[in-house]
Structure 1
C-alpha cells in the first residue's frame, strides 16, 4: 500500500476501531495555533500531536531546531493516546504534509509500518464537505513498544564524511534539480530539501548561517507534490529524481529535519531503497563551528 491515502479512502474507514487519526497541524513561530485549530475543529476521532512538544525534543546545543524526541517518551505518549503496535495511523496537517510526514517517519523509525498521510490535509477535507467536529475523543490507553531502526538515521559525523567524499570526487558540474547521471554511481548523495534561495544562501530567515552542506544537491520538497498538495505519482517522482542512482546511499536533510521527511517519502515512493534522514539537518550542521558551508549551486 502507498504511504498516502485519499479523503474517500479515509471516509470509508473513519470509525474503524483499529485506526487512529492524528492531527499534526502546526505553524512555525506560532506554537499554540495548531492546537487551537484542532480544538476548534478536526476530523472526527482525531487526536492531536504537537510538532515541538510531542514530535521533537527540547532544543539543545546540538541536534538542530527540532531534535528527535526521546523514543521512550514518544512511545509513552502514543500509548496514552490509545496507539498500539497494531494500530493503523492516518496523519494529516495543513502544511503540505510536512508535519504529518514527520510523524510518518518517526513511527517507521520506531518500527511501526501502518502509518499513512492524508492527501491534501485538513483544509481540503473540509472543503470537500467531509465531516468535522470539535469533539475530542476519550482514548483508552494502549501499549506501544518501540523497535528502533537506527539504520534510518545519519549522524553529523557520517554527513561530514559523505560531504568530503562528494566534494573530493566531484568530477561533473551538478546543480539544483538537474540530471546527475554523470556523477559517480556509488558515491553517496546528500540532498538538501529547502527552497533554492535558502540552499544557495541568498535568503536565510530561520538559521544563523546561510548556505548548504558542501556537495549537497538541491531538491525542494514541495516539488514532490501536485498543486492540490497531493504527492506526485511514482512515475512522476522517478522523473523528478532522474539521474540519482537507485542503488546509491541517499542522505536527506532540510533546515531542522521536518521538511526533509516528505522528500524521504517521495524518494521511497519513486523506488529508492537506501534513503536516510539527517535529523538535525542544517541547523545542527552549523552548530559545529568547524563544519564548512557552501553557497550558490553545486
Structure 2
C-alpha cells in the first residue's frame, strides 16, 4: 500500500479501533500554535504529537535544530497514547505533510510499518466538509516496543566521507557508480545555493550535494505525485545507487525520502542532523552555487 491515504479512505475507517490518528501540526517560530490549533479543532479521534517536544530531543551542541528523539522516550510517549505495535497510524498536519512525514519516518525507524500520511492535510479535510471536533479522546495506554532500524540513518562522519569523495570525483565518468553515494539537499534552491538563509547561522550546502526541493514532489494541492511522475522528477538517479537525504534540520528531508521510495528507490537513508548539524562542526566545508545533477550514473 502507498504511504499516503486519501480523505475518503480515512473517513471510511475513522472509528476503527486498531487505528490511531495523529495530528502533527506545528509552526516554526510559534511553538504553541500547533497544539492550540489541535485543541480548537481536529479530526475526530486524533491525538497530538509536537514536533519539538515529542518528535525531537532537546537541542545540543551537535545534532541539528531537531535532533532525533530517544527511541525509548518516543516509544513511551506512543504507549501512553494507546499506540501499540499492531496499531495502524494515520498522521496529518497543515504544513504540506512535512511534520507528518517526520512521524512516518520515525515510526519506520522504530520498526513500525503500519503508518500513513493523510493527503492534503487538515485544511483540505475541513474545507471539504469532513467532520472535525474539539473533543480530546481518552486513550487507554498500550505497549509500544521499538525495533530500531539503524540502517535507515547516516551520521555526520559518513556524510563527510561521501562529500569528500563526491567533490573529488566530480564528473569523472571513470569512477565506479556502485561505490558512489548521492547526497540530496531537500531545501529550496535559494537556500541550497547560499543566497537566502533565514533559519541557520551559515548559508550554502554540503559539497557534492545536489538539490531536489521537497515540495517539488507534490502537486499544487499538496498531494504527492504519482510513482511515474516521481520517477521523472528524479530521472538521472540510478536506482542501484545509495542515496543520503538531508535538509535544514531533518524534517523536510522526510517527504523526499517518502517520494524517493515511492519512485522505486530502495537504498535511501536520512542524515537526521542535516545542514544545521553539518555547520555545527566549524571545520566542515561549505559550498555555494549550483552543482550538476547526475545523469544515468
Residue-by-residue CA offset, 1:177-208 (whole Å, 9 max, x unaligned): xxxx9996321000000000000000000000
Instruction: Check if 1:185 corresponds to 2:177.
Output: yes
Q: 2:221 aligns with which of 218, 228, 240?
A: 228
TM-score by length of 2: 0.96
Q: Deviation at 1:171?
A: 1.6
Distance 1:161 1:7, change over 3 A: same
Deviation >4 Å, runs of 4+: 181-184
Q: Distance in 1 between matches of 2:174 and 2:52?
A: 40
Q: Distance in 2 between matches of 1:224 and 1:287?
A: 29
State the match for 1:12 in structure 2.
12
Equivalent positions of 1:148-227 (< 5 A) are: 148-171=148-171, 185-186=177-178, 187-227=180-220
8 Å Cα contact 1:170-1:183 kept in structure 2 = no
What's the secondary structure of 1:191's corresponding residue?
strand
TM-score by length of 1: 0.96
Residue-by-residue CA offset, 1:45-92 (whole Å, 9 max, x unaligned): 000000000000000000000000000000000000000000000000
Instruction: Check if 1:269 corresponds to 2:262.
Output: yes
Instruction: Check if 1:290 corresponds to 2:286.
Output: no
Aligned length: 290
State the match for 1:99 in structure 2.
99
Q: Distance in 2 between matches of 1:81 and 1:185?
A: 45
Q: Distance in 2 between matches of 1:202 and 1:3?
A: 34
Gap runs ≥5 in structure 2? 292-297
What's the secondary structure of 2:103's corresponding residue?
helix
Q: Distance in 1 between matches of 2:19 and 2:187?
A: 33
What's the secondary structure of 2:215's corresponding residue?
helix
Residue-by-residue CA offset, 1:11-70 (whole Å, 9 max, x unaligned): 000000000000000000000000000000000000000000000000000000000000
Q: Deviation at 1:99?
A: 0.1
CA RMSD of aligned residues (A): 1.1
